[in-house]
């Protein structure tokens, strides 16, 4: 089939290009089935869709050592894929004039009103602190330019976190660098304080239920536990060891930076909402089209994003999303400025979760994809290899 379909959506017209020839579902099945066997990956669920419909779905491997097969509705811990949902929640409050993107968040989050920057360490290893000159804003939090960094990928944060009991601090002056961190965690707290709801309550009422994301939550009820895929960790000899299988403990608080459980189908509905300029297939008004445009365009100016050296190799390997290329960051997503060979277009939006769950949204071609695995370390060589295989397979045509 070689045609273009058009439909009017909030904010304009979406074009849906279909390739004249495309890889058959059976060919993509073979890619995933053979890929997990060759790469020693316990389980993978993949889905590829346009705004209008699911174009491919497949599930391969086993839930755990019992040998129970995974299915397309298996549930995964999606970790930092939570961040995009939190970003949508925060931007909904921007649309309601509850907070401005460039307004100091210290007015609501008093913990961030007077925060110090780590300038270095003295000869005893004690941090040298000074007051931040630039007030933290929601834009800083959502673009990872706040200076609030994860110790896994920032040397200063790694050294600072090694001494227990330290107050929250910035690793650099806000707006001067991109460094992946806890800014969206704090944006989640901002949503809770402004809305008067827990993040779970806010997500369910304002985003998840409206998009029919029925299996996405910070909480896993007992009835759904049989669908949860067990985690694995890579051992020094290269083998994977299953993490003890037990029902997730309900969190005492909800973290905007990570913590959601979800399925490939649920997260695809979320991505389709972005393709639909804020409108889900069966609902309107998740976000305004102009707000979604912020989520599609560079928000960090000349800074580059996506390159992260790991200081905790058991948790993550070094991260370089597209070696030899520069990436940008929008409000919520990494943007690749160059096309992937055989895959996503330039200007596509993406991110991932710590346990090797990956997604991308390709507005230029009106498609999106998600591949869910459940293992550490992040960007495990075999997991990234399977992601590339899957992406090329679904685009092939």
**Are the C-beta atoms of residues 154 and 171 closer than 8 Å to each other?**
yes
- The one catalytic residue among 50, 74, 77, 80: 80
Burial call 285-308: b when 16+ CB within 10 Å, e when fewer: ebbbeebbebbbebbbeebebbbb
CA atoms in the 13 A half-sphere facing the CB of 358: 22
- The one catalytic residue among 83, 146, 202, 261: 83
Distance CA 230, CA 316 (A): 18
* Helix residue ranges, H only, the chain: 25-39, 82-95, 138-143, 155-161, 183-195, 199-203, 264-275, 289-296, 381-395
**Are the C-beta atoms of residues 170 and 207 closer than 8 Å to each other?**
no
Q: DSSP label at 225?
A: G
Q: Which of 333, 295, 347, 387 is nearest to 180 (CA)?
A: 333
- The one catalytic residue among 51, 56, 180, 311: 180
**Are the C-beta atoms of residues 169 and 186 closer than 8 Å to each other?**
no
- What distances in angstroms separate CA 313 from CA 26, 105, 380, one per listed residue? 36, 33, 10
Question: Is 80 a residue of the active site?
Answer: yes
Question: Is 150 a residue of the active site?
Answer: no
DSSP letter for each residue of 35-103: HHHHHT-SEEEEEEEESSSEEEEEEEEBSSTT-PBP-TT-BEEEETTHHHHHHHHHHHHHHTTSS-TTS
Question: Is 348 a residue of the active site?
Answer: no
Kindly give the interhelix angle for 289-296 and 264-275, rounded to the nearest 10 degrees: 110
Residues labelled catalytic? 80, 83, 180
């Amino acid at each position: 089939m070689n045609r273009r379909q058009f439909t009017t959506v909030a904010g304009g017209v979406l074009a849906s290009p279909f390739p004249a020839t495309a890889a058959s579902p059976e060919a993509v099945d073979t890619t995933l089935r053979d890929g997990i066997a060759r790469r020693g990956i316990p389980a993978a669920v993949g889905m590829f869709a346009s705004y209008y419909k699911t174009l491919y779905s497949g599930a391969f491997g086993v839930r755990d050592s019992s040998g129970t097969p995974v299915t397309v509705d298996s549930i995964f811990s999606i970790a930092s894929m939570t961040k995009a949902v939190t970003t949508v929640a925060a931007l909904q409050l921007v649309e309601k004039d509850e907070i401005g993107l460039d307004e100091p968040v210290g007015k609501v989050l008093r913990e961030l009103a007077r925060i110090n920057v780590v300038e270095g360490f003295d000869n005893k290893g004690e941090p040298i602190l000074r007051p931040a000159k630039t007030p933290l804003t929601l834009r800083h939090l959502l673009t990872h330019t706040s200076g609030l960094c994860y110790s896994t990928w920032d040397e200063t944060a790694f050294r600072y976190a090694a001494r227990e009991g330290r107050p929250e601090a910035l690793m650099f002056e806000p707006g001067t660098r991109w460094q992946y961190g806890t800014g969206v965690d704090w944006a989640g707290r901002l949503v809770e304080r402004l809305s008067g709801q827990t993040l779970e309550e806010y997500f369910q009422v304002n985003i998840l239920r409206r998009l029919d994301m029925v299996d996405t939550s910070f909480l896993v009820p007992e009835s759904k536990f049989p669908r949860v895929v067990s985690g694995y960790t890579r051992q020094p000899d290269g083998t994977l060891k299953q993490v003890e299988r037990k029902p997730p403990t309900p969190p005492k608080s909800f973290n905007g930076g990570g913590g959601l459980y979800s399925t490939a189908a649920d997260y695809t509905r979320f991505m389709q909402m972005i393709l639909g300029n804020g409108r889900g297939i069966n609902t309107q008004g998740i976000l305004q089209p102009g707000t979604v445009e912020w989520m599609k365009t560079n928000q960090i100016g000349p800074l580059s994003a996506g390159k992260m050296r790991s200081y905790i190799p058991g948790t993550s390997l070094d991260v370089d999303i597209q070696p030899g290329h520069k990436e940008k960051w929008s409000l919520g997503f990494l943007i690749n400025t160059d096309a992937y060979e055989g895959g996503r277009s330039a200007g596509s939006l993406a991110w991932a979760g710590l346990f090797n769950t990956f997604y991308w949204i390709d507005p230029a071609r009106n498609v999106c994809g998600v591949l869910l695995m459940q293992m550490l370390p992040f960007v495990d060589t075999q997991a990234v290899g399977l992601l590339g295989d899957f992406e090329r397979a679904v685009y092939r045509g």
